[in-house]
Amino acid sequence: MSFFHASQRDALNQSLAEVQGQ
């Protein structure tokens, strides 16, 4: 459960970082 939550949070962070990168 924790791993899934962490993975989802990491994916969200990556998406946010990509948007900010542009």
Say what the pLDDT of residue 1 is. Answer: 63
Say what the pLDDT of residue 5 is. Answer: 80
Say what the pLDDT of residue 2 is. Answer: 77
10 vs 4: CA distance, rounded Å: 10
Say what the pLDDT of residue 18 is. Answer: 95
The pLDDT tens digits of the residues spanning 1-22 come to 677 888 999 999 999 999 999 7
Please, how many CA atoms are within 13 Å of residue 13, restricted to the half-sphere of its CB? 6
